[in-house]
Structure 1
Amino acid sequence: MHKSYGADKTYVFLDRDGVINKDSPDYIKTWSEFEFIPGSIEAIKCLSENNYHVIVITNQSMINRKISTSGHLEYIHAMMNKAVQNEGGEIKDIFFCPHSPEEACTCRKPKPGLIHQAVKKYKINIAESVMVGDSAKDIECAKRAGCKYTILVKTGNYIKAISFLEEKKMLPDYVAADLLDAVRWIMKYGRAGS
């Protein structure tokens, strides 16, 4: 895969838990509980080297549920960024929703608020962007926001997600084994203007 210089960068939105790291029904509350899914760092590096901007879009209701703190979350993200940077990749930014579903905010996926925040901050052409997630919420969020492509990975909540998406006739553009497989697909089909 060769570097592509001079072209407008395509933005790739990534969910975190179940895409970059292994998910847990008990939440990822501390860095010691964070475990990268094999190949995910390599995948982010590959995107970075090929002129893509990576932005993480994640629901983190553990904050307002008082299960963990915003300080712990900031530390997790700082360490995640460091690990990615050490391997030559880059996460441009992270947008998270701290709210529980009962709070009815505008930023909790499947609502597209977090993507809207990113679009506003970076003047993103959403119609040329890609979203990679492991849940139905991720795919619905991306479609509501207007992303060009949606990819569902099998490393998280795939079984539950695909049945819901089939029922809603809201299928992703590609189902990937993992983030690395998703990135290979993006390299082939996801470039802006392609």
Structure 2
Amino acid sequence: MNTVLLIHGGLWDAMDAKAFWGTTGVIDGLASHGVTVLAPDRLKRPSGWDAEVTALGEHLRNLRLSPGDSGLTIVGASNGCAVAARLAIEHPDLVDRLLLAWPATGGDAVVDARTRAGLIGFGCPPEVVDGLLAGGTLRGVTDAELTGLARIPVAVLPSVPENPSHQRKTVDALLRLIQGSRELAGSAEPPLPTFPPYLDQLVRTIVEFVN
């Protein structure tokens, strides 16, 4: 059984691992299947994606897998997909599988304008905003870097229904860019009030991917 590292969504806001994965039942659901779950908090006010990756990368380097574990599966959620992908790129010896769940749409002028306004409203400096919004299909990652993830099993899990921040076109682009990647059954994102009916399905989907 793999160890699973859950990377929650959010960007310069109040979201944390407990609210995203804990109170929604995802952590307990995975644990009930014997999955070893790690769910650290991301940096609250990062200076950029590199700062987030450095913080969680330290967590990875200190990780000691249990006997019989074949490697680490990372599940990134929403804007956490950028961190998850960067960790897989920068720590290829530690990451065995990658699941990009409800990937946040990058490179969309309308979405970026709304996100920029929200980040500035939270007090994020304009130069930091520029860095956080930069990238390709995913923020914080170039499309060329994404193609390199074909060396490991990668899956993409869409938002159901899609919404402006989590668009279907992002899922389709990721599936095209990462050779051999596959789509898993979609769901609403855990913090949403529409998520509870999807809990059991999401847990089963992650467990099946891990194994």
Fold match (TM-score > 0.5): no
Q: If the length of structure 2 is used for normalisation, what is the TM-score?
A: 0.41
